[in-house]
Amino acid sequence: MLDKEEYQRIADFILSFPEMDDFIEEHPDIQRLDILLSEYAQFASQQYYYSDDLRISIQIAKEKFSEFVEQSHLGIHSINKTKCIDDASIICTFHNEAYGDKKPEYLFKKADVQHYRTITEKIAYQKVDFSPLVEKYISHYHPYVNMEIASAFINAKQYDIGLPFLQKVLSYVFSYPNIYWDNPTALYSCAEGIHMMQYLLGRAGMDALDYIIPDSKYRLLQLAYLYISRAIYMCDEDIASHGKWDGEHIPAGLINKLNFLSIRANLVYDYRTEFSVIFGIGINPDIQYIADKATASSIADRYGLSIIFEECFKDAMKMYRYGSLIPNDTGGYVDIEDATFGELIERGNIRSEDLANQLLKLYRESYFVLGESELAECIWFIKDKLCYSVSEALRFKEERISEYKRWHEEWVQSLISRSSQAGNAFVNALSIKKSFASHIKQALAQNNITCLYHFTDRANLESIIKNGGLYSWKYLEEHDISIPKQGGNLDSKANDQKFGLEDYVRLSFCDDHPMMWRLKCAGYNLVLLKIKVDVAWAKDTLFSDINATAHNHRHGDDIETFNSIDFNAVKQHYLNKSSAMFGPHQAEVMVKTCIPLEYILNIDNPIIR
């Protein structure tokens, strides 16, 4: 963190730039240092003294100032443009493909049954069929893309499709750092994502979530408050760049700020008991509700939108006069508070910003980080809860734990008792190494590849354990071994036979194989198995530069084929189908006939997908 002395050094450094003193005097209207530096950079680039050293110095000054602001009380407001990812093309392309140039149709629903986007008493939802885009964007990473698709399918109660897309949004929310923290559109989608998670869980689901992940309810509420606050405060720059609403072009940031202020008020109201703890002793969550609703109304009025947001002001006044959203004769905060309506709003706004900064500090300490298996378990729970009930969802959770325990016990017993000649033969076969095994080891180590991956349906784990490992589909058929849910179809088997790959077990370097999302949408409950990298240098192992079902793939067991693998591509995540790395990302390692249990690292605790 930069202290005041460091800030002074930055100021002195900036004042040392050629003609900076004169430039400041000539531009007294520029109050923000980052804007001043940007304007100065444009000015200096036209002068004789401009050089690469000066350009680099200006960039260093920008980065240092942004770091200072990030660590200050303004951190929740600031947008560090030096960390902003250029995502405009992604957003524009998706928006055009999803909505096109056609005038959108709308569905109108009452605001009191909606969980976000409360622009008016009736909310306009664009009627868009996202189905054609699912296949294209199923492996996409951007929060905006995933949230748009997730919302459409979840609102249509097509949870098998919508929830996996929501999970990808939440993977950024529950990680630190979030690479999109300084990208407004992506951040708004992250805020919507965690708010939707809270909404889908409901109070009963939030209470039950603590049984799955200890202390998760409070952490989720705090993180939701943080992201919604971030969405509120980062809108200011966009709003400031526009004047009063001209009746046609409403600043996008303005609508987002008003929406999220209302959302934050409702979140605090719905969980008043929890937020009385989160804010601390002596802070009344109802006052925070009044402050956010009244602030939304006040800002709307300033921009000529008071009619649209008049319900916010009415709700704030009801809470102030009656201590409830339902009028009564008991009196409200107007009688018991030692402050006027305006003073309560001011105090509430200060407390909201203070809390957001406290939570931001915890976020930077990775307090809210959730592992991928924990997040997947939450998504499973949400799906079960939406399709059945909270009690049933908890029962399914307990059954999964029981199944894993039983599978683990059987696995241990199978390792002790299994000494069949066939099993030993497979282990022995993998122990015979390629002549260039050391080259493979070195390449994998240099690229930080510590395991390989195989995905399968959860229902297949018992069979894998009982039969002592993973087998090729040819071996399974020849030995009449039944697999509850096979992933391959007739076309994939035909391709395997065409290329002579029917007796190989397929592994990937990536843990986000595009085929996984297709199977999830088809109703599979997938788990990811980690496989020892040792299988890669076994004598009979094959390599493929892309997915070996593709007609243009290259496979073989030689060093040239191994060297054709693009390790930069396999390490990427959530690549778009249009990316040049999409094919190489799916490079494969194919193990002859069987991968014994000894080579499966997490058979007793597979990663839930």
pLDDT tens digit sequence for 296-308: 999 888 877 777 7
Kind and range of the H or E run holding 594: strand 594-596
List beta partners, residue 457: 526
CA distances from 128 to 99, 151, 252, 447 (A): 7, 11, 20, 42
Instruction: Give a yes or no: residue 402 inside a domain.
Output: no
Pair 363, 483 in one domain: no
Instruction: Give a yes or no: residue 415 inside a domain.
Output: no
Of 18, 39, 70, the residue at which a domain comes to its end is: 70
Instruction: Give a yes or no: residue 405 inside a domain.
Output: no
Rg (CA), the chain: 28
| Stronger pLDDT, 272 or 327, i.e. the higher one | 272
Pair 45, 157 in one domain: no
Pair 373, 429 in one domain: no
Of 380, 403, 438, the residue at which a domain comes to its end is: 380
Pair 587, 452 in one domain: yes
| Stronger pLDDT, 480 or 530, i.e. the higher one | 530
The predicted structure's pLDDT at residue 553: 92
Q: Is the pLDDT of residue 405 over 50?
A: yes
**pLDDT tens string 225-251:** 999 999 999 887 666 655 555 555 667
The predicted structure's pLDDT at residue 156: 84
E-strand spans in 333-448? none
The predicted structure's pLDDT at residue 598: 85
Q: How would you classify the pairing of strands 504-508 and 588-592? A: antiparallel
Instruction: Give a yes or no: residue 444 inside a domain.
Output: yes
**pLDDT tens string 62-104:** 777 766 666 666 678 878 777 788 889 999 888 888 877 544 4
Pair 474, 571 in one domain: yes
- Distance from CA of residue 403 to its chain's centroid? 29
Pair 39, 151 in one domain: no
Instruction: Give a yes or no: residue 118 inside a domain.
Output: yes
Pair 124, 27 in one domain: no
Of 70, 96, 126, the residue at which a domain comes to its end is: 70
**pLDDT tens string 19-43:** 888 888 888 877 667 778 888 888 8
- Per-residue confidence at 469, pLDDT binned at 50, 70, 90? confident
Q: What does the alpha-carbon distance between residue 357 and residue 360 come to, in Å, rounded to a whole number?
A: 5
Pair 583, 553 in one domain: yes
List beta partners, residue 455: 528
Pair 363, 433 in one domain: no
Range of lowest pLDDT (333-347, 404-418, 445-459): 404-418
Angle between helices 341-364 and 310-322 (to 10 degrees): 100
Q: What does the alpha-carbon distance between residue 573 and residue 514 come to, in Å, rounded to a whole number?
A: 10
| Stronger pLDDT, 426 or 324, i.e. the higher one | 324
- Per-residue confidence at 119, pLDDT binned at 50, 70, 90? very low
The predicted structure's pLDDT at residue 215: 81
Total number of domains in the chain? 3
> Whole-number mean pLDDT of the chain?
82
List beta partners, residue 530: 453
- Residues with Cβ within 8 Å of 443's Cβ and at least 6 positions away in sequence, in order, are 562, 567
For residues 410 and 466, the answer to whether their CB atoms sit within 8 Å is yes
Q: Give the SS3 label for residue 380.
A: helix
**DSSP assignment string, 167-236:** HHHHHHHTSSS-TTTT-HHHHHHHHHHHHHHHHHHHHHHHHHHHHHSTTHHHHHHHHHHHHHHHHHHTTH
The predicted structure's pLDDT at residue 290: 96
Pair 513, 587 in one domain: yes
Which amino acid does the sequence have at 576? N
Q: What does the alpha-carbon distance between residue 278 and residue 274 come to, in Å, rounded to a whole number?
A: 6
Instruction: Give a yes or no: residue 388 inside a domain.
Output: no
Instruction: State the Cα torsion 377-380-382-385 to the nearest 10°.
Output: -120
Pair 522, 466 in one domain: yes
Q: Is the pLDDT of residue 121 over 70?
A: no
Instruction: Give a yes or no: residue 407 inside a domain.
Output: no
Q: What does the alpha-carbon distance between residue 158 and residue 170 come to, in Å, rounded to a whole number?
A: 18
DSSP assignment letter at 116: S
pTM of this structure? 0.64
For residues 174 and 369, the answer to whether their CB atoms sit within 8 Å is yes
Range of lowest pLDDT (34-48, 198-212, 245-259, 414-428): 414-428
| Cβ neighbourhood burial of 22 (10 Å; 0-12, 13-18, 19+) | exposed
Residue-number span of the structural domain to which 35 is assigned = 4-70
Instruction: Give a yes or no: residue 349 inside a domain.
Output: yes
| Cβ neighbourhood burial of 97 (10 Å; 0-12, 13-18, 19+) | middle
Q: Is the pLDDT of residue 288 over 80?
A: yes
Q: Please choose, from the candidates 44, 82, 40, 42, the residue with its C-alpha nearest in 3D space to the C-alpha of residue 63.
A: 82
The pLDDT of 418-440, averaged and rounded, is 75
- Per-residue confidence at 425, pLDDT binned at 50, 70, 90? low
Phi-psi region for residue 449, left (φ > 0), alpha (ψ -120 to 50) or beta? beta
Q: Is the pLDDT of residue 105 over 50?
A: no
Pair 507, 556 in one domain: yes
Q: What does the alpha-carbon distance between residue 491 and residue 499 come to, in Å, rounded to a whole number?
A: 13
Q: Is the pLDDT of residue 270 over 50?
A: yes
**pLDDT tens string 534-593:** 999 999 999 999 999 888 899 999 999 999 999 999 988 767 777 889 899 999 999 999
